[in-house]
Chains A and B, each alone.
Chain A
Amino acid sequence: MNLIDPAELSGFLDREMTEERRQEIRQLVANTASLREELESLTSADSRWRAAARSAAFPVEIRLHREKILAISPVQAAVLTALLLAIRFLPKLVSTLTLGLALNGIALAIVIAWVIAMTRETENRMSASI
């Protein structure tokens, strides 16, 4: 092919084309002053920009584990919440209701606390994803 798409000068500069096409472009550039000037201008700008961009890099140290937001596990959170509720309300319940009902209440509190803890955990995971 004797014609050249101007964008191919970028491909040539970046070595992002087949060797065969590079050879063709090399010949076209050698025979055409305007193409030669264009390529020289691109090459010069490219090397300046490359050097400038390289100076922006700096060393970074990373960790591959997220800091835990919850200091206690969901199970611990659920049990602790249930215990606090039991301490607060059990005396009143025993005097007025049967012990069975009170135990059901505690079980319900454990389930609610568990759901809350799991929800927080899920939110943490969601905020960690893109």
Chain B
Amino acid sequence: MDAERQYALLIEPLLGPAAGYARAILRDRQNAQDAVQEAALRGLERFRTFDTSRPFKGWWFAIVRNCCIDILRRMAATKTERLDELQLPQAPESAVTDWEALGAAMAGLSDQHREILRLRYFADLSYRELAEALGIANGTVMSRLHLARKALQARMGEEES
């Protein structure tokens, strides 16, 4: 089986969760789709040098995350260039869905907590995959995730009250 075919088979079941994960970061369906598309291409370009002893899912979601960051940077640059547009009233948003409320609550957390929670819930990564995606030790994952959960619980409790 050639590398491209093998890669396609590996990412196929991850595309839906990747779209959800990218959507949680970017808050926009089209941008999320673009991020997943770009991640699929970048992943393929790097797949030939991928160390198969590492968890593929964690590795690939790290690429998705980088693609989302690139899109956020581009969006920030575009906004800076179009200051006039920023002053325009925002279009009314549709009803806030569960994932949007969850994403908004996560957005109020520290970077470390937000990242690990997004990867755990939206991307459904295991502890080993989380360690790979975040570049942290396996032993750090459990404690960081626990603290992040407590922080999110507190945050959502505040919002509900």
Contact = CB atoms under 8 A, between A and B. Distances in A.
Interface residues of B, dominant DSSP: helix
B41 A52 contact: no
B44 to A, nearest CB: 6
A57 interface: yes
Given A45-B153, A52-B99, A56-B103, A63 B37 contact: yes
Interface size class of B (residues with CB under 8 A): 35 or more
Interface string A34-78: 000000011001100111111111111011111000000000000
A60 B41 contact: no
B17 A57 contact: yes
B73 interface: no
Contacts, number: 110
B66 interface: yes
A24 B142 CA distance: 17
A129 interface: yes
Interface residues of A, number: 33
A81 interface: no
Given A14-B127, A16-B126, A46-B149, A57 B98 contact: no
A128 B42 contact: yes
B23 interface: yes
Contacts of B156: 45
Contacts of A42: 149, 153
A62 B33 CA distance: 9
Contacts of B97: 55-56
B121 A53 contact: yes
20 contacts: A6-B146, A7-B142, A7-B143, A10-B145, A14-B126, A16-B126, A49-B102, A53-B20, A53-B24, A53-B99, A53-B124, A54-B99, A55-B20, A56-B99, A56-B122, A57-B16, A57-B20, A60-B36, A65-B41, A130-B46
Interface of A: 5-11, 14, 16, 41-42, 45-46, 49-60, 62-66, 128-130
Nearest 6 pairs of A and B residues by beta carbon: A57-B20, A56-B20, A52-B98, A56-B99, A7-B146, A53-B121
Interface of B: 4, 7-8, 11, 15-21, 23-24, 29, 32-33, 36-37, 40-42, 44-46, 63, 66, 97-99, 101-103, 117, 121-122, 124, 126-127, 142-143, 145-147, 149, 152-153, 156
Given A52-B99, A55-B97, 14 more contacts: A5-B143, A8-B142, A11-B127, A16-B126, A51-B98, A52-B101, A56-B24, A58-B23, A60-B16, A62-B36, A64-B8, A65-B41, A128-B41, A130-B42
